[in-house]
Amino acid sequence: MYTAPPIQCIPPVGAPRLPALFLLGAYVMPNLAVIGAQWGDEGKGKVVDLLAPHFSVVARYQGGPNAGHTVVFGGKSHALHHIPSGIFRDGVRNLVGAGTLVDPDALLGELAKLRDEGVPVESRLLLSARAHVIMPFHRDLDAALEGRLAGAAIGTTKRGIGPAYSAKSQRWGVRLADLETPDDVAARVEQALGAGLAQQLQALGAAAPDPRESARLAERWWAELGPLVGDVTEELHQAIADRRSILFEGAQGTMLDIDHGTYPFVTSSSTIAGGIPASLGVPPRAVETVVGVAKAYATRVGAGPFPTEDKGATGDQLREAGREYGTTTGRPRRCGWFDAVAMRYAVRVNGLDAITLTKFDVLTGLPTVKIATAYEIDGGRTTSVPPTVRAYDRVRPVYEELPGWSESLDGVRSLADLPRNARAYLARLEELSECPVGLLSVGADRAATVIPAGSVLERWSK
């Protein structure tokens, strides 16, 4: 078993503010990042919801309604798309950062559901004025582009994510703050149409937006969302200055990162820990502890490299036992074995302090369990992740097979409660991943969780 590094003391609330250099040397900043370590859908929602009461702020840093986080408590399941998973916790501020995308109509639907459930969103939520808006024609473009790619389609959620991030990079995007001045929105859309968007839409058989209609939309959206829009960056800076703790919440996963994932089968933003300071406007050192959420096996939704995919009966069993169908699209997820090669890569890319391992219960009942330890490629072996899809096509995983277990993990609340074979699997997974497991999840409910002694998360579990 790996042991976590010793925990340094956190200064008590209200302690005198000290020079930054001294703070860095003497104290650990009380901030934590929870990010996806695989291909998304790892169970980040459960982990964030569980830890959120120990933080003053939960901040989402990238992605948009393509994310689908599920939080289960009180026998009820709650699906979130834009809104951080700390929204159900009293006294927690939930911030949606500058690097995210907002689809106003989808967000209004999400807000209505939360209000119906009695969640006081007005006092708990702030949307960054700098976040970009997904316009209806971004969704049309997404669908049309995917249609044209045919056999090479990325398998996007068709929520307009790629086109909205493209518009941002081309500097004709619409930001939440722009909605306050609908004429500016009309002018921006006009500018985009004149700079090539009209031709692109026409070539794809999609309708061009009417700038006046875009302005009317902006007016309606601002009337409803305006009170929730503000300076998220400033609020984060204030939280850092006050030494209030921040939980940074990721969406999607490391292998879907725009630069470091399995390009082009990736999402359009920086999902990795390095994306946090860039997307939220906080200093890199504000991201103190980083944990990566991973399933005890692996899944991927959409197209693209997935070396440990099992297209046979085991894959089907994992899909059914793990209910592996997308929260956002309902699509069946591709399922397979835990990939320690990809995990080690995620550990290094993100500087993970611990893995939070979810869905361990799903492996119960399998006669044997496998972990990919290396890849075979072109007659040799590698423990590195290939940089191209072409190379991925030639990869064959090398597996280590361990005995399974048949005992139910219901009621497991400490590592000692685990069946012997489950403990052995966990220990080998840690060893091969070169990272300790700092949280083990054995069911969707908040209670079905083990935080091992010495875990980097122990200080947030009491």
Q: Any idea which residues carry the catalytic annotation? A: 41, 69
Yes or no: say if 49 and 455 are a contact pair by the CB < 8 Å rule: no
When asked if residue 78 is in the footprint of ligand GDP (CB under 6 A), the reply is no
Closer residue to ligand GDP (CB): 137 or 248 = 248
Task: Match 């302690």 to its residue by tokens.
Answer: 15
Residue of 15, 228, 249 whose CA lies nearest to 129: 228
Closer residue to ligand GDP (CB): 57 or 256 = 256
Over the window 299 to 338, marking each residue x when it contacts ligand GDP by CB under 6 A and - when it does not, the resulting string is: ----------------------------x-----------
When asked if residue 257 is in the footprint of ligand GDP (CB under 6 A), the reply is no
When asked if residue 41 is in the footprint of ligand GDP (CB under 6 A), the reply is yes
Closer residue to ligand GDP (CB): 69 or 132 = 69
> Which residues, numbered 423-462, are part of the site for ligand GDP (CB under 6 A)?
441-444
Helix ranges (H only) for 27-135 are 44-51, 104-116, 121-124
Q: Select from 51-59, 188-196, 356-364, 425-433 the region that touches ligand GDP (CB under 6 A).
A: 356-364
Closer residue to ligand GDP (CB): 42 or 339 = 42
Closer residue to ligand GDP (CB): 78 or 139 = 78
The distance of closest approach from Cβ of residue 43 to ligand GDP in the complex, given in angstroms and rounded to an integer, is 3
The helix, strand and coil proportions of the chain, stated in percent and rounded to the nearest 5, come to: 40, 20, 40
The distance of closest approach from Cβ of residue 419 to ligand GDP in the complex, given in angstroms and rounded to an integer, is 16
The distance of closest approach from Cβ of residue 109 to ligand GDP in the complex, given in angstroms and rounded to an integer, is 18
Residue selected from 31, 34, 46, 131 as contacting ligand GDP according to rule CB under 6 A: 46
The DSSP bridge partners found for residue 132 are: 101, 175
The radius of gyration computed from the CA coordinates of the chain, to the nearest angstrom, equals 22
The distance of closest approach from Cβ of residue 36 to ligand GDP in the complex, given in angstroms and rounded to an integer, is 6
Residue selected from 38, 49, 55, 69 as contacting ligand GDP according to rule CB under 6 A: 69
Helix ranges (H only) for 171-210 are 182-192, 198-203
When asked if residue 124 is in the footprint of ligand GDP (CB under 6 A), the reply is no
When asked if residue 358 is in the footprint of ligand GDP (CB under 6 A), the reply is yes
**Residues, the chain:** 462
Separation CA 324–CA 334 (nearest Å): 8
The distance of closest approach from Cβ of residue 247 to ligand GDP in the complex, given in angstroms and rounded to an integer, is 14
Closer residue to ligand GDP (CB): 218 or 439 = 439
When asked if residue 45 is in the footprint of ligand GDP (CB under 6 A), the reply is yes
When asked if residue 361 is in the footprint of ligand GDP (CB under 6 A), the reply is yes
Closer residue to ligand GDP (CB): 70 or 433 = 70
Residues 6+ apart with CB under 8 A from 432: 340, 343, 344, 371, 373, 400
The distance of closest approach from Cβ of residue 46 to ligand GDP in the complex, given in angstroms and rounded to an integer, is 4
* Residue 141, both tokens: 């473009």
Closer residue to ligand GDP (CB): 279 or 441 = 441
Over the window 274 to 303, marking each residue x when it contacts ligand GDP by CB under 6 A and - when it does not, the resulting string is: ------------------------------
- At 33, which helix (H) or strand (E)? strand 32-36
Closer residue to ligand GDP (CB): 42 or 178 = 42
The DSSP bridge partners found for residue 300 are: 334
* Residue 101, both tokens: 């995308």
The distance of closest approach from Cβ of residue 324 to ligand GDP in the complex, given in angstroms and rounded to an integer, is 8
Residue selected from 34, 42, 160, 346 as contacting ligand GDP according to rule CB under 6 A: 42
Sign of CA dihedral 333, 321, 358, 443: positive
Q: Is 402 exposed, middle or buried (0-12, 13-18, 19+ CB in 10 A)?
A: middle
Amino acid letter for position 168: K
The distance of closest approach from Cβ of residue 183 to ligand GDP in the complex, given in angstroms and rounded to an integer, is 38
Separation CA 105–CA 88 (nearest Å): 21
Whether the ω angle into residue 264 lies within 30 degrees of 0, i.e. cis, is yes
Separation CA 287–CA 281 (nearest Å): 11
Task: Match 């500058």 to its residue by tokens.
Answer: 98
First vs last C-alpha separation in the chain: 23
When asked if residue 60 is in the footprint of ligand GDP (CB under 6 A), the reply is no
The distance of closest approach from Cβ of residue 321 to ligand GDP in the complex, given in angstroms and rounded to an integer, is 8
Q: What is the largest CA-CA distance in the chain?
A: 66
Separation CA 433–CA 254 (nearest Å): 15
When asked if residue 249 is in the footprint of ligand GDP (CB under 6 A), the reply is no
Q: Is 406 exposed, middle or buried (0-12, 13-18, 19+ CB in 10 A)?
A: exposed
Q: Select from 69-77, 104-112, 124-132, 400-408 the region that touches ligand GDP (CB under 6 A).
A: 69-77
Total residues contacting ligand GDP by CB under 6 A comes to 20
**Interface with ligand GDP by CB under 6 A: which residues?**
36, 41-46, 68-70, 72, 327, 358-359, 361-362, 441-444
